[in-house]
Structure 1
Amino acid sequence: MQALSRHGPRIAVTLLPLILAILHAVGIMPMGVLQRLDDIIYDTRLRATMPGTLDERVVIVDIDEKSLAEVGRWPWSRHHMANLVNTLFEQQHIAMLGFDTVFAEVDDSSGLRQLQQLARGEMADQPGFAERVNALQTRLDYDSRFAQSLQGRPVVLGYYFTSDREGRTSGVLPAPVMGFEALGGRTIRSAPWNGHGANIAPLAQAAPLAGFFNAVASSSDGVVRTLPLLAEYQGAYYESLALAMFRLLTGSPKVEPGFPAQGWLGRDYEALESIRLSKGGSSLQIPVDDRLTVLVPFRGPGGPRGGSFRYVSASDLLAGRVAPGELKDKIVLVGTTAPGLQDLRVTPLSETYPGVETHANLIAGLLDGRLANRPDYAVGYELVVLVLAGLVLALALPLLSAARAVALSVLVVTVVLGLNTWLYLAHALVLPVASTMVMAAFAFALNMSYGYLVESRAKRELAQLFGTYVPPELVDEMVKDPDNYSMDASTRELTVMFCDMRGFTQISETMPPTELQGLLNTVFSRLTRIIRGHRGTIDKYMGDCVMAFWGAPVETPDHASLSVQTALDMSQAIRAINHERHQAGLPAIGVGVGLNTGEMCVGDMGSDVRRSYTVVGDAVNLGARLEGLSKLYGVDIVASESTRRQAPGFVWQELDRVQVKGKAQAVVIHTPICTREQTSIALEDELREWQKALKAWRNQDWNACDVHLLNLQRQSAKKVLYRLYADRVVSMRHSPPPAGWDGSTTFDTK
């Protein structure tokens, strides 16, 4: 919870895309780009999953360029249409015929009306003229001939609705299939039609059914993806061409609205979910969206060469070039692919898709009983997915590294897209997914941007505070959780180091200032790199001394071990520097290091004029005292017992038990020799012998101590420590220690 509260602003920023996506989903702030992206995803899936095979059940009779060239320009005379209908039923024996065209005007191409006007006017006095006109009426009344060809046959005529300002109407509409009362007081969003263009009365009365062929293009890109099954006009509902043909094929079942059963959705959920076709106790549900439309189940590329449906030229049928019975039991649609007749639509598959083939696809889909569906609960689904994905990202991204944030974002998008695709493939559900994908992308981008800006600022602030003391890698670590670091004073267990150049005063007296400066810079630069390389914090440089500590500002559990390894590496670095100085003919230098682990006060301390991040306390003072003892004992490093206990990975040699100035109690001091992995049998033997010498020393067994020291000096003749104790034994023989002596050495000076 602390992590979440600490990242509150970042979480809020990451939630912003979720809020915007929710406003889009519920329609308060619709974003066209998201709808367009959903359309692109749907189009891509459609192209990837369409069958691409020929549906032999439906045939399209094409009024193509060839037909227009042979028969004449459109509209054709109705006697041609009558001949076409008779040919299809009498010679081809088709199952059903539908017209993706409208016959809204009377056919005067035969001249019958003019002859009748003459018979009633100028030629009324001519003997036999009127009788001859009456005799020709049957042959010349092309509309009647066409109507007769339709009577008693399974034919569905086409018509269209309009929504212009004038609300013009023409022709006779068929009877509606459903009244407004069937909705039970509910309302349905549908296209606002206020006019129509229908067939003339003789044709409308002759055909058993008629259906509108309007196609509603998407408002976002003008692409036809759906066709309405029902249209509301003047308080009644009319069926589409495809639905009328399907109903005629299935015995003209009754059309009823399909609403969800009241249950967990509640009574307030009254969205139309389907159109129900009922007959004889059985019913068929056709899923529709809230605009009474269905997604067209496109089978493949459109047109005569598309391979989805067979195209037959109308002129070939009229000229008898199609073998009788070749179209037997086929469902036939009459339409056009001629560009001049302007029945080409923009669809997901083509920008010049024949309008008649959109109806053919829908009829085939109705026959298959599988139509992709955009259910009304898509909004609820979108909200649930958005909230779940958005909350996961908002709560998790601020806590993750950039790489893991990328992985989580990709995982969320993959899961959401995978679920959405599975619902499409397995259940034919077309549900929105673009809003979630875009939300996830923007949530990631905003989270990373905010993190970069804020962390960059935090890094700059921390760098200003700690950059001169703390290595860059520790600053990077601190930036990840800047609230945990401050300059405020606190008490912690730390390890402090004092490193002093020996004999600096004598060296400085023999060197010009520039050379002295170069020496100090060389030594301090190398030692500083080693300290920072082991996560140490530089406290200050004091003349020829450098002070550092471990465990702050970044907590380091192994601060003692790191300080010891640093001291050993520094000793090695000084040997390397001395090798370079020896080659240059310069005298060697030495350093003494004091290490102590204990409770210290750490923080930003100083005056209003100058401040620094430093440590103070008795433990710090002891570290300084120990550094001063290193030369006496002939070692580079002197560490306290507390440091030794917390650095078990090294080989130690106990030096003494000392009571330094300012400390009432004696402390045991040690020097680290190497890591445990670097030890040898000879070194272990030497240390065992040394422990025997120390024991004899503290037991005041001077003879035994002498024996052990002689053995040690034979092994390491140059070791100052053994000579120091040998001299102390001589002194003790002449001036024995007082009673109760604990074997410690007291130092009265710093």
Structure 2
Amino acid sequence: MGAGSIWTRFASGVRRFTSSRALGLGLVCLLLALRIADPSPVQALRFGAFDLFQQIKPREFTRQPVAIVDLDDASIEALGQWPWPRDRLADLVDAITADGAAAIAFDVIFSEPDRLSPARLAERPGMPDALRDELVDLPDNDRLFAEAIARSRVVAGQTSVRLAGDRGDASPIREVPHAILGDDPTPFLQKYPRLLQNLPVIEDAALGHGVFSTRPDPDGIYRRAPLVLMVQDSLRLGLAPELLRAATGGDAFAVRTNAAGIEGVVVARQLVPTAADGSVWPYLTPSNDARYVSAADVLTGHMPQGRLAGHLVFVGTSAIGLEDFRPTPLGVSMAGVEIHAQILENILAGTMLERPNTTIAVELVITALLGLVIVTLVPAFRASFVMILAVVVMAGYAGASWYAFDARRLLLDPTFPIITAVLTLILMASLNYLREERMRRQIRSAFGQYVSPDLVDQLSENPDALTLGGERKELTLLFSDVRGFTTIAESYRTDPVGLTHLMNRFLTALSNAILDEKGTIDKFMGDAVMAFWNAPLDIPDHPHAACRAALAMYDRVQEINRERIAEEGEDVLLIDVGIGMSTGPCTVGNMGSDTRFDYTALGDTVNLASRLEGLSKTYGLGIIISESVHDGVGPNFAMLEIDMVRVKGKTMPVTIFGLLGGPDLLSHPDWPRVAKANHRMRVAYATQDWDACDAALTALTDAGQSAGLALDGYIELYRGRVAAFRGTPPPGDWDEVFVATSK
């Protein structure tokens, strides 16, 4: 298309101001009003894009003079459960100070007297008088802790308490020196009505007082943190900037404002830019052990000398039981103390993400321009030209948003302007869109009863895919089968309709469990089902999806059994399903003849999954998975290594696992006992220590019963093997591998 032709079409289109343009302009105006209102769904899209940027390119970790003395699991195991006596915390402060730390901040609050202080212990009933007198004469733990704080530069951590109603009884708080540069910041700051403080003796001894409270965004993710906030009508710094202030002499901080809100906070003689409400967007790195020093190592002298010299030190916890973990934009949870440490690293290195007060105005202008371009061009040019131009413009803006983040650490929303452009483009091309949708519905109606919904969607987009051929792809395969189905079918010999109803009910439950996790049902083979994940459409976490589906299948079968008992009585034959799964490379595509073919998968992974389903009966477990599935899902499911086997048709042994449950089972208090007992049994079995193996099986029986697990068949299998090996020891070249002789 020449330049003259383009201009002619454009001029002609502009002259014809049609009703479609009016609707397009109305939609653009409506969407601009929606962006100004900024409801939660709009925020969620924007936040999701900003999260994705950080996940694609998290901040590179570079060493800063920031460290965390961690009250970790190892410290609690070595020195006792939390809370520790305050005299031990005094020793911790002294040890950190002696190692050369510039200042210390506690991401912990001490609002109540130490219950282990001698005077408190003396108050316990039944205490002998002589011992009580000795305890009363001992130094108070809180006083010892405060004296250690006074000998160092320590910031006492404080937290907010959000209470409704009268605030008249709020305790007075110690002021932190500050100044205001510009307008009053009070209307813009995040406000908390109440402050939970430490004991007065600790507050008086501390050089600084910082608030470690942060509010998550509506979706529960901690993306922002207040650098300055207002509590009980007083200005307070967050924990990280207050630590920096204390380390640099404790000078006053300053809040700089303008008519639009807060511009930044001056602390340690530098201006840290903030959002209008005084919050910042920290640029995070993944959690890094280099930031941490175990509190136990500090107290026992195992920490390298000078490790904390010149460092700004946070004292906090990553211990699992203390639950100080926060969801982050990186998609993983992180200890709250490490988030504070990363905020301070951002301040020191000048790497904070920025979203100035003017950013919203820029985004609104861009949104309006994109919408106007589409409203103007769609009636004047062919749809193909407008589509290409729109894609180029939207991709260019998305690229510009990424560049702003990558090169300038500037957060520019890529979602709403593009969504506005897309919605406007859809509206302006509605007739073609509706016509194409009618065609897709016809295809779905014709084929939707025979193949998977995902495959139908793919065929509706690309009818040329109805040809023979396959592609190499990593899949997760699942096979399931009913144990003893012949016996169940025999019980319905006089009621074939009842058997058909039962099978439809059973297969519907299994199919729904698979389809709910976006699996593709390859085929039904009588009472057996074959399914796979990651084709025809990509599913990045396909091993996770397959495991969730397998557990749901097993649960739904148990639900059917309970319903049948209620319907038919206790004597009904129950359905017992076995499931096998494996992940690996397969050939997947349309296989068959030129006139009839199926969308299916072929390969060694398929065969292995089928063999593992057969082994589920041998091991008395419902779900058996291969090592590849185990490695693909990591620690997100409750799994036990059960054996090394050489399945029929394969020469190399494989390690297999029993899939027993998901996060609910992992959090069960008896699960660690189950996993530990099973590990001991497997080690003893491999080393031919039959006594230890029997003892571990007994422990596994007890732990499994406590956790509500059906492990009897698995345990009896190994008891039988141990008994057999006691009578006839294995040969000298025994490799622990079980050879499966049947499918």
Map 1:359-370; keep pairs closer than 5 Å. Answer: 359-370=340-351
Counterpart among 23, 27, 31 of residue 21 in structure 1: 31
Which residue pairs with 1:200 in the alignment? Answer: 199
The answer as to 2:438 corresponding to 1:438 is no
Which residue pairs with 2:374 in the alignment? Answer: 393
Which residue pairs with 2:537 in the alignment? Answer: none
Separation in 2 of the partners of 1:116 and 1:57?
44
Tell me the alpha carbon deviations over residues 683-723 of structure 1, each in whole angstroms, 9 at most, x when there is no partner: xxxxxxxxxxxxxxxxxxxxxxxxxxxxxxxxxxxxxxxxx
Q: Letter of the aligned partner of 1:32 in structure 2?
A: S
Which residue pairs with 1:293 in the alignment? Answer: 279
Q: Is the 8 A contact 1:288 1:373 kept in 2?
A: yes
Tell me the alpha carbon deviations over residues 268-289 of structure 1, each in whole angstroms, 9 at most, x when there is no partner: x4322212347xxxx5221111
Separation in 2 of the partners of 1:122 and 1:53?
57
Query: Per the alignment, do residues 412 and 426 of structure 1 end up closer, same or farther by CA in structure 2, a change over 3 Å counting?
Result: same
Q: Letter of the aligned partner of 1:228 in structure 2?
A: P
Counterpart among 94, 98, 115 of residue 101 in structure 2: 94
Deviation at residue 433 of structure 1 after TM alignment: 2.6
Q: Is the 8 A contact 1:167 1:195 kept in 2?
A: no
Which residue pairs with 2:147 in the alignment? Answer: 148
Which residue pairs with 1:36 in the alignment? Answer: 44
Deviation at residue 137 of structure 1 after TM alignment: 3.0
Deviation at residue 257 of structure 1 after TM alignment: 2.4
Separation in 1 of the partners of 2:151 and 2:85?
22
Separation in 1 of the partners of 2:265 and 2:313?
24
Map 1:509-520; keep pairs closer than 5 Å. Answer: none
CA RMSD of superposed structures (Å)? 3.1
Q: Letter of the aligned partner of 1:312 in structure 2?
A: V
Tell me the alpha carbon deviations over residues 491-545 of structure 1, each in whole angstroms, 9 at most, x when there is no partner: xxxxxxxxxxxxxxxxxxxxxxxxxxxxxxxxxxxxxxxxxxxxxxxxxxxxxxx
Separation in 1 of the partners of 2:352 and 2:132?
60
Deviation at residue 147 of structure 1 after TM alignment: 0.8
TM-score (norm 2): 0.53
| Counterpart secondary structure, 1:211 | strand
Separation in 1 of the partners of 2:101 and 2:185?
41
Which residue pairs with 2:225 in the alignment? Answer: 227
Which residue pairs with 2:138 in the alignment? Answer: 137
The answer as to 2:358 corresponding to 1:377 is yes
| Counterpart secondary structure, 1:371 | coil
Separation in 2 of the partners of 1:290 and 1:274?
8
| Counterpart secondary structure, 2:56 | helix
| Counterpart secondary structure, 2:117 | coil
Deviation at residue 107 of structure 1 after TM alignment: 0.9
Deviation at residue 150 of structure 1 after TM alignment: 0.9
Deviation at residue 317 of structure 1 after TM alignment: 1.7
| Counterpart secondary structure, 2:309 | coil
Deviation at residue 156 of structure 1 after TM alignment: 1.1
The answer as to 2:111 corresponding to 1:104 is yes
The answer as to 2:395 corresponding to 1:414 is yes
Which residue pairs with 1:3 in the alignment? Answer: 13
Unpaired segments of 5 or more residues in structure 2?
A: 1-10, 438-743
Q: Letter of the aligned partner of 2:339 in structure 1?
A: T
Which residue pairs with 1:73 in the alignment? Answer: 81
Query: Per the alignment, do residues 412 and 235 of structure 1 end up closer, same or farther by CA in structure 2, a change over 3 Å counting?
Result: same
Q: Is the 8 A contact 2:188 2:277 kept in 1?
A: yes
Q: Is the 8 A contact 1:25 1:379 kept in 2?
A: no
Q: Is the 8 A contact 1:106 1:143 kept in 2?
A: yes
Q: Letter of the aligned partner of 1:175 in structure 2?
A: E
Q: Letter of the aligned partner of 2:277 in structure 1?
A: R
Deviation at residue 238 of structure 1 after TM alignment: 0.7
Deviation at residue 133 of structure 1 after TM alignment: 5.8
The answer as to 2:54 corresponding to 1:64 is no
Q: Letter of the aligned partner of 1:157 in structure 2?
A: A
Q: Is the 8 A contact 1:173 1:204 kept in 2?
A: no
Q: Letter of the aligned partner of 1:239 in structure 2?
A: L
| Counterpart secondary structure, 1:357 | helix
Q: Is the 8 A contact 2:114 2:142 kept in 1?
A: yes
Q: Letter of the aligned partner of 2:101 in structure 1?
A: I
Query: Per the alignment, do residues 253 and 420 of structure 1 end up closer, same or farther by CA in structure 2, a change over 3 Å counting?
Result: farther
Q: Letter of the aligned partner of 1:347 in structure 2?
A: T
Q: Is the 8 A contact 2:188 2:262 kept in 1?
A: no
Q: Letter of the aligned partner of 1:164 in structure 2?
A: L
Which residue pairs with 1:160 in the alignment? Answer: 159
Which residue pairs with 1:218 in the alignment? Answer: 217
Deviation at residue 164 of structure 1 after TM alignment: 2.6
Query: Per the alignment, do residues 177 and 240 of structure 1 end up closer, same or farther by CA in structure 2, a change over 3 Å counting?
Result: farther
Percentage of identical aligned residues:
26
Larger radius of gyration: 1
Which residue pairs with 1:343 in the alignment? Answer: 324
Separation in 2 of the partners of 1:172 and 1:77?
27
Separation in 1 of the partners of 2:433 and 2:324?
55
Deviation at residue 3 of structure 1 after TM alignment: 2.5
Separation in 1 of the partners of 2:380 and 2:51?
37
Which residue pairs with 1:678 in the alignment? Answer: none
Which residue pairs with 1:236 in the alignment? Answer: 234
Q: Is the 8 A contact 1:79 1:142 kept in 2?
A: yes
Q: Is the 8 A contact 2:228 2:279 kept in 1?
A: yes
| Counterpart secondary structure, 2:160 | strand
Q: Is the 8 A contact 1:172 1:198 kept in 2?
A: no
Query: Per the alignment, do residues 225 and 452 of structure 1 end up closer, same or farther by CA in structure 2, a change over 3 Å counting?
Result: closer
The aligned length equals 426
Q: Letter of the aligned partner of 2:281 in structure 1?
A: L
Query: Per the alignment, do residues 235 and 357 of structure 1 end up closer, same or farther by CA in structure 2, a change over 3 Å counting?
Result: same
Query: Per the alignment, do residues 351 and 72 of structure 1 end up closer, same or farther by CA in structure 2, a change over 3 Å counting?
Result: same
Deviation at residue 19 of structure 1 after TM alignment: 1.6
Q: Is the 8 A contact 1:173 1:199 kept in 2?
A: no
Separation in 1 of the partners of 2:284 and 2:138?
46
Deviation at residue 115 of structure 1 after TM alignment: 3.9
Query: Per the alignment, do residues 255 and 24 of structure 1 end up closer, same or farther by CA in structure 2, a change over 3 Å counting?
Result: farther
Which residue pairs with 1:259 in the alignment? Answer: 257
Separation in 2 of the partners of 1:15 and 1:61?
58
Separation in 2 of the partners of 1:350 and 1:380?
29
Q: Is the 8 A contact 1:186 1:270 kept in 2?
A: no
| Counterpart secondary structure, 1:59 | strand
Tell me the alpha carbon deviations over residues 127-154 of structure 1, each in whole angstroms, 9 at most, x when there is no partner: x986x566x333xx11111111111412
Separation in 2 of the partners of 1:164 and 1:345?
22
Q: Is the 8 A contact 2:185 2:255 kept in 1?
A: no
Separation in 1 of the partners of 2:320 and 2:124?
38
Q: Is the 8 A contact 2:314 2:337 kept in 1?
A: yes
Map 1:438-587; keep pairs closer than 5 Å. Answer: 438-450=419-431
Unpaired segments of 5 or more residues in structure 1?
A: 261-268, 457-750
Q: Letter of the aligned partner of 2:103 in structure 1?
A: M
Q: Is the 8 A contact 2:118 2:135 kept in 1?
A: no
Tell me the alpha carbon deviations over residues 623-645 of structure 1, each in whole angstroms, 9 at most, x when there is no partner: xxxxxxxxxxxxxxxxxxxxxxx
The answer as to 2:280 corresponding to 1:272 is no
Separation in 2 of the partners of 1:42 and 1:129?
60
Q: Letter of the aligned partner of 2:243 in structure 1?
A: M
Separation in 2 of the partners of 1:364 and 1:455?
53
Deviation at residue 23 of structure 1 after TM alignment: 0.8
| Counterpart secondary structure, 1:353 | strand
| Counterpart secondary structure, 2:423 | helix
Q: Letter of the aligned partner of 2:79 in structure 1?
A: V
Separation in 1 of the partners of 2:377 and 2:235?
51
The answer as to 2:414 corresponding to 1:424 is no
Separation in 2 of the partners of 1:194 and 1:183?
24
Deviation at residue 402 of structure 1 after TM alignment: 1.5
